[in-house]
Chains A and B, each alone.
Chain A
């Protein structure tokens, strides 16, 4: 019998996902706190652009960027460029 490894147990995978989802939520909360603190001038916040000040700008940008990236790759690029592995051999 092979040794059980960490992710062989679905419980552990679930646990990991839970930790991950909670940290994502925590980040959003921290962002709120940070915005409030910087608006009260307790913390100095240097921004280059106005939109950086919006709540969760970077979160939304990162999420949307990756969704677009995957959808474009899968539904536009792949049908265009995918060929059999021996395409260049003949």
Chain B
């Protein structure tokens, strides 16, 4: 049996019906949507479907191949897990936003042409902003607004790129683009904004920690991964991506060490992980692309798991800052366990999922560094190794340590609700399953591979790297050098538009406001003069003639004043005797007649 329903529509339309269900039926219905979507997905044959003529364009609404199928699988899996996770929140807006957002992500990756791609790309922004605004706090509103501004800008850049690309090539095909023309750079940069490249990344670290508890789990899965997919589809082997990716992998770990908000720590480590994927796409060999995609697959799971565990902590304690937490292993042992699985996975411990995918990217970089002319990849490899050690430090140790161990905050709460535990349990199981039996993942990668992660050398070296990172953490902590968490925020490049924006505003208000006042005073004085002139100029003219006439006739003093006043009033109010009015009108007609 084959089907060709768009996976996106199953989620988007299915989500719209959620408010019509109640109680258990609603929970079942929501869980059924991703399941139905998955059954549909595995029955779509590879190739192009749902062709549509739209003006001069030939749109391909649904295109399936090995690359996007992999992303399709993981998007369905994480949607299913997240839906279970958010069942206890009972917020229809959040539910519908979540489904709309997941659908948009699926639409983006299965789009067969750039126009369809763009439409769903923009829907992603709408869905994600709704998830941020669902938190309903003032800071979430502000962060959501900034998020919207950045992505609206990114969307416009992408759209401009697509329009130029179409006028240049006459094609909307989703195929390899070589950097060179303006359009290629615009599309590249537009995707880069969603990919959270360095300096244009702070929308992520700003907004994700402000989203709802479930929202941040959704958000961690989709926006950056669709961007990774888009880069893998359109720009594989673009050398600039290697250096961008290295930057992404390296700089966030420094921030993560000093950040207090644990969900923000995760947001930084999200950028760090996407960095590995971007490097892989930049290298562009089959092994590297496989590694990037496999790592995206795994990252969706373990980053989702970590966000879920921190969400559960936040749900029970109402706190998320490291300074307020600690010692929660006593009251939330299962959440703690699942968090540790996520931490082990992101740190790439042997038998956990990160191990089987991060190593592919590392191997691909190392293999290419021996090619003449690509020797500088050695440095990339060394920085990635540094980042691999660093990620264990902040995500692998810091997150579980400060939330569940460390200094006992005295918080005694209930274990996370059952549905949250089930969701985390599924994600944790999958992390270990993929890490232990990587073949299941390798078989669905874009290119066939016989990569073997479990060699003695690899297991031993990786274990050494991680244990000595842990040793560094332990010794620094015991020696009191490890930076204590502090109630503070850390500036990032969003300062440019958050404070810089205010500066520009102040500058403009100082220069433009006086100018404005000055113009206004001119306009006001001219207008009041004109209005005064037209108010009674006729009456004054009449008075001028009449007064002379009366003075000749000998009218004087009180009587003159009275006559003046009456004439003035009569003209202003238009209450002259009919005879005079008629005389004026007739003399006007006569005048016109004489003159013509």
Interface residues of chain A, those whose CB is within 8 Å of chain B, are 2, 5-7, 17, 20-21, 23-24, 27, 30-31, 34, 43, 45-49, 52, 56-63, 65-67, 69-74, 77-78, 80-85, 87-88
- A63 to B472, Cβ gap below 8 A? yes
Q: Does B456 lie at the interface of the complex (its beta carbon under 8 Å from any beta carbon of A)?
A: yes
**With A20-B470, A62-B468, A71-B481 already in contact, 11 other A-B pairs whose C-beta atoms are closer than 8 Å:** A5-B330, A46-B457, A48-B363, A49-B381, A62-B389, A62-B464, A65-B386, A73-B258, A83-B489, A85-B488, A88-B489
- 5 of the cross-chain contacts (CB-CB < 8 Å) are A24-B471, A69-B253, A74-B482, A85-B488, A85-B489
- Smallest CB-CB separation from B458: which chain A residue? A46
Q: Contact string, B457-493, partner A, CB cutoff 8 A, digits 1/0? A: 1001111111111111110100001110011111110
Contact in complex: A67, B457 (CB < 8 Å): no
Chain A interface helix/strand/loop/mixed: helix
Complex CA–CA separation, A72 to B254 (angstroms): 7
Q: Enumerate chain A residues within 8 angstroms of B363, measured Cβ to Cβ.
A: 48
B254 to chain A: which residues have CB within 8 Å? 69, 72-73, 77
Q: A75: nearest residue on chain B (CB-CB)?
A: B483
Shortest distance between the CB of A12 and any CB in chain B (Å): 12
Contact across chains for A84 and B467 when beta carbons are under 8 A apart? no
Closest 10 CB pairs of A and B: A66-B472, A48-B366, A62-B468, A73-B257, A62-B465, A63-B468, A74-B483, A58-B464, A81-B491, A65-B389
Q: Which residue of B lies closest to A2 (CB)?
A: B412
Give the Cβ gap from A68 to chain B, nearest Cβ, in Å.
8
Contacts of B511 in A (CB 8 A): none
Instruction: Please measure, in the bound complex, the distance between the C-alpha atom of A43 and the C-alpha atom of B459, giving whole angstroms.
Output: 14
Least CB distance from B490 to A in Å reads: 4
Select A46's contact among B455, B460, B489, beta carbons within 8 Å: B455
| Closest Cβ neighbor of A6 among chain B residues | B329
Per DSSP, are chain B's interface residues mostly helix, strand or loop, or mixed?
Answer: helix
Residues of B within 8 A of A65 (CB): 385-386, 389-390, 469, 472
- Identify which of A47, A52, A67 gathers the most chain B CB atoms within 10 Å of its CB: A67
A residues in contact with B481, CB < 8 Å = 70-71, 74
Contact B393–A66 (Cβ < 8 Å): yes
Q: How far is the CB of A17 from chain B (nearest CB, A)?
A: 7
A77-B255, A82-B258, A87-B489 are contacts. A69–B455 as well, Cβ < 8 Å? no
Q: In the complex, what's the smallest C-beta–C-beta distance from B443 to chain A, in angstroms?
A: 23
- Interface size grouping (class) on chain B: 35 or more
The answer, yes or no, to whether B405 is at the interface (CB within 8 Å) is: yes
B370 in the interface (beta carbon within 8 A): yes
B461 touching A52 by the CB < 8 A rule? yes
B471 is contacted by which of A6, A63, A85 (Cβ under 8 Å)? Answer: A63
- Interface 0/1 of B412-444, CB less than 8 Å to A: 100000000000000000000000000000000
B405 touches A73 (CB 8 A): no
Contact B499–A34 (Cβ < 8 Å): no
Specify which of B329, B412, B466 is in contact with A62 (CB 8 Å cutoff): B466
Q: Which of these, A5, A7, A27, A83, contacts B467 with CB under 8 Å?
A: A27
Inside 8 A of B476's CB, which chain A residues have their CB? 66-67, 70
B464 near A66 (CB under 8 angstroms)? no
A59 touches B465 (CB 8 A): yes
Cross-chain contact B370 with A67 (CB below 8 angstroms): no
Minimum CB distance partner of B386 in chain A:
A65
The smallest beta-carbon distance between B89 and chain A, in angstroms, is 27
Closest Cβ of chain B to A76, distance in Å, is 8
